[in-house]
Chain A
Amino acid sequence: MHEMALMGGVFEAITSTLAQYEVKKVNLVKLKIGKLTNAEPDALQMAFEAYAKGTICEGAQLQIELVPVKARCKSCQAEFDVDELAFVCPVCEGLGVEIIQGEELLLESLEVEQ
């Protein structure tokens, strides 16, 4: 259940962001979660509710966008979707690939009432 620790990161970022705005209520919290992470959406939801209780975020909706894995070949520079977790370039069959998408653990934005 390291989702509790990740949600700690969400609320740290929410607190420092809201310090700069006059906000009555948070309606929506949007996260971007890469598929190549171990963050589980249901566990994030539970952790969110636990953290939100008694705060300006209580009752807010948590929206989680799951980001598919994409990679770039280090030899031929081709960009491709990584299906079934095979990290091999479909163009030149190169094995050296860098992940360009799918490792995100991000708080993207907040929808608030001012």
Chain B
Amino acid sequence: MSLQREIPVMANLLQSNDFQAEINRKHFQKHNCLTINLIGSPGAGKTTLLERTIAVLKSKHNLAVIEGDIFTSKDAERIAQHDIPVVQINTGGGCHLDSKMVEKVLPQFQWDNLDLMIIENVGNLVCPADFDLGEDFKVVVLSVVEGDDKPSKYPVIFRNSKVAVLNKMDLLGLVETDLGVMKEDILKINPEIKIFEVSCRTGEGLEDWTNWLDDQVRKTKERGA
């Protein structure tokens, strides 16, 4: 005779990712290395923002980059030209990085003298938002040409990020995007988020971003001093 019953489970589906993310976080903290997770749709300007940021902060701090990409190493090659350590992770079709992929490449860096690790996630405004990599905070990059409806259509990433960088401000006049609506929606979703308006092409607004990030790196360094 068969018997029917209900077995309570209450297991978090991200359990194993979150567990590894905490181990990664402890690793970054032990080395007083500020770690950020850069997320945005394909073409938002993540790699270009990264290059501009490296150019300014490289002389002040020791930087390194983990590049997430589905198939290619094109971005890692761009970063390597700046003469800083970079490791490529190819997800082989996967739409996001997870904490185990990051853990696997950690031994490839010299942690004793790193101050800032930037992880560039796979170009995607959706999936990476749910996966903690162990970073200090997430930075979402959105270009203004993508449209002012994007924050309300993809709220999770804006809710989960500490910073939003609005890129391609130089193109604002050429598109229908209402910057006021875009910012208002972002602040509605996350009133504590910090917004930077930049153009990686012209350099407009970049100093505010790099000054702020410089400050965050210093604070993390001081914590360990």
| B9 with A21: CB separation less than 8 A | no
Tell me, in angstroms, the Cα distance from A114 to B191 when the chains sit together.
51
A10-B13, A112-B5 known; A2 vs B131 contact (CB < 8 Å): yes
Q: Which of B5, B9, B16, B126 contacts A17 (CB 8 A)?
A: B9
Q: How far is the CA of A112 from the CA of B129 in the complex (A)?
A: 33
Selected contact of A88 from candidates B130, B152, B191, CB within 8 Å: B191
In chain A, positions 77-114 with a C-beta closer than 8 Å to chain B are 85-88, 95-97, 99, 105-114
Q: Which of A24, A37, A107 contacts B9 (CB 8 A)?
A: A107
B12 beta carbon closer than 8 Å to chain A = yes
Question: 1/0 contact trace for A3-16 toward B, CB 8 Å?
Answer: 00111011011100
Whether the pair A38, B130 counts as a contact (CB closer than 8 A) is: yes
B10: chain A residues within 8 A (beta carbon): 106-109
Is the pair B155, A85 in contact by a Cβ cutoff of 8 Å? yes
- The binding surface of chain B is classed by DSSP as mixed
Contacts known (A17-B11, A36-B155, A113-B4); A2 close to B130, Cβ less than 8 A = yes
In the bound assembly, the distance between CA atoms of A86 and B10 in angstroms comes to 29
- The CA-CA distance from A13 to B159 in the complex, in Å, is 28
- Chain B residues 1-57 with CB under 8 Å of chain A are 2-17
**Contacts known (A2-B127, A24-B2); A87 close to B9, Cβ less than 8 A:** no
| Chain A residues within 8 Å of B189, by CB | 85-87
Q: What is the CA–CA distance of A17 and B17 in the complex, to the nearest angstrom?
A: 18
Contact between B7 and A112 (Cβ–Cβ < 8 Å)? yes
Interface residue count on the A side (C-beta < 8 Å):
37
Q: How far is the CA of A13 from the CA of B16 in the complex (A)?
A: 10
**A27 within 8 Å of B (CB atoms):** yes
The answer to whether B192 touches A111 (Cβ under 8 A) is no
Q: How large is the interface on B (under 10, 10 to 19, 20 to 34, 35 or more residues)?
A: 20 to 34
Contacts of A62 in B (CB 8 A): none
In the complex, the answer to whether A107 meets B2 with C-beta atoms within 8 Å is no
Distance in angstroms from B34 CB to nearest chain A CB is: 23
Tell whether, in the assembled complex, residue A111 and residue B5 are in contact, meaning their CB atoms are under 8 Å apart: yes
Q: Which 3 A-B pairs have the closest CB atoms?
A: A95-B191, A9-B13, A13-B11
Q: Add 19 more A-B contacts to A9-B16, A109-B7, A109-B9 (CB < 8 A).
A: A2-B96, A9-B12, A10-B13, A13-B11, A14-B9, A37-B130, A85-B152, A85-B188, A85-B189, A99-B159, A106-B10, A107-B13, A109-B10, A110-B9, A111-B7, A112-B5, A112-B7, A113-B4, A114-B4
Report A's interface with B, CB cutoff 8 A.
1-2, 5-7, 9-10, 12-14, 17, 21, 24, 27, 31, 36-39, 85-88, 95-97, 99, 105-114
Q: Which residues of B contact A (CB under 8 A)?
A: 2-17, 94-96, 98, 126-127, 129-131, 152, 155-156, 159, 188-192
